[in-house]
Amino acid sequence: MSYQAANPLADEFELELGGAWTAYWLAFLRVVTGWWFFHAGVTKLIEDGLAYTYGPAYLRQMTGTALGPIPVLMGEHLGWLIQAMVPLGETLIGLGLMVGALVRLASVFGVFFMSLFWIGNAEFGHGLVNSDFMGLLLFMTMIVLATGRYYGLDAIIEKTKLVKRHPKLRYLLG
Amino acid sequence: MQQHTTVIDKAAMALSGGLMLLGVVVLGIVEILAGKPYSAAPLTNDAGEIIATPMIDPTLRTGLVLAGILVLALYGLYKLVVPMENEATTAQQEITAD
């Protein structure tokens, strides 16, 4: 009997990344994570358009965090950009994940957003692992497992000639 | 599918995983052993006054986790820059054929 460090369940449960249940669950997780961000973004767009003033205000109050002066400086000097990019970014990240297109690239931005939420909210009353941190881990999971390849458009996009000519694009897709 | 991991892959996994687990789990255990508050937030009474503060500054713990994420981000950039394994193999084969 061989021991597989990469997939210790292979003998008993056949939990392969190409397996039906894995594909089903990763696609489901991706769509729900996408909906979470899409809902957050599109409701901001409906209410405030591209002038989400709470964005820069939120960053300006992030003093004394592990990110040092970066968020405060962003809030002070990039306010106009953040007002537009928070609702637009959340919506596009959510859309990307739901349809499964450019999932890894979208998830990198998702990690960026969630890092700021996790550090900025600083609601650690029940420990460091809170819902913001779990959201951050979800986006990292999307990147590591390339979930766009499971019932997502990335599975189709990766078969195009462009991606075959430039295989590194798969690091942004998938 | 057989996956080949290089020293860089293993270093990225060990360093990022180590930093994140140190921030979340190891220092979390220290926080519990140090007594109340058991979490990374100050403990307050009914009047809202702080009666106990965390032994380890949450800034340090969150900073360690962010450092782990940064390692993974740098690893991602590294993968974008270096030639892919099959690209390198193809190039090597071409040289051999010449």
Strands (E), B45-83: 50-52
Domain residue ranges of chain B, discontinuous segments joined by +: 7-91
Res A152 pLDDT > 80: yes
Whole-number pLDDT of residue A13: 54
Phi, psi of A128, rounded to the nearest 5 degrees: -70, -30
- B44, β-bridge pairs: B50
Nearest to A115 by CA among B68, B76, B17: B68
Is B60's CB within 8 Å of A66's CB? yes
Determine the pLDDT at residue A1: 41
Would you state the pLDDT for residue B92? 47
Tracing tokens 């965390």 back to the chain, one arrives at: B54
Which among B2, B30, B56, B69 is the top mutation candidate for probing chain A, defined by the most A β-carbons within 10 Å of its own β-carbon?
Answer: B69
Nearest CA in chain A to B36: A125
With H, G, I as helix, E, B as strand and everything else as coil, classify residue B50.
strand
Nearest CA-CA partner of A173 in A98, A93, A102: A102
pLDDT reading at A2 higher than 90 = no
Reported as a single tens digit per residue, the pLDDT across A40-76 is 999 999 999 999 999 999 999 999 899 999 999 999 9
Residues of B within 8 A of A108 (CB-CB) are 73, 76
CB contact under 8 A, A128 and B84: no
Cβ neighbors of A22 (< 8 A, separation 6 or more) are: A15, A16, A150
Q: Which residues of chain B are within 8 Å of residue A118 when distances are taken between CB atoms?
A: 62
**Within 13 Å and on the Cβ side, how many CA atoms surround A30?**
33
Nearest-CA distance B60 → chain A (Å): 7
Picking from B58, B59, B69, the nearest residue to A111 by CB comes out as B69
Closest Cα in chain A, distance from residue B37 (Å): 9
DSSP H stretches of helix in chain B: 7-21, 27-33, 58-81, 85-97
Distance CA B62, CA B67 (A): 9
Higher pLDDT, B28 or A20: B28
Choose among B88, B90, B69: nearest CA to B24: B69
Distance of CA B93 to the CA centre of its chain: 37
Residues of B in contact with A67 (CB under 8 A): 66
**Alpha-carbon gap: B98 to the closest alpha carbon of chain A (Å):** 23
Instruction: List the single residue in B with minimal CA-CA distance to A6.
Output: B3
Q: Render pLDDT for B33-55 as a digit per residue (tens, 0 to 9).
A: 999 888 888 888 888 888 888 99
Task: Give pLDDT tens digits for A111-142.
Answer: 999 999 999 988 888 889 999 999 999 999 99
Where does the pLDDT of residue A10 fall: very low under 50, low under 70, confident under 90, or very high at 90 and above? Answer: low
Residue A129: name the closest of B19, B60, B65 by CA: B65
- Nearest alpha carbon to residue B68 among A64, A133, A160: A133
Q: Does the beta-carbon distance from A171 to B66 stay under 8 Å?
A: no
* pLDDT tens-digit readout, A71-109: 999 999 999 999 999 999 999 999 999 999 999 999 999
Q: Shortest CA distance to A33 belongs to which of A121, A167, A124, A145?
A: A145
Restricting to A residues 51-110, those with a Cβ less than 8 Å away from any Cβ of B are: 64-67, 108
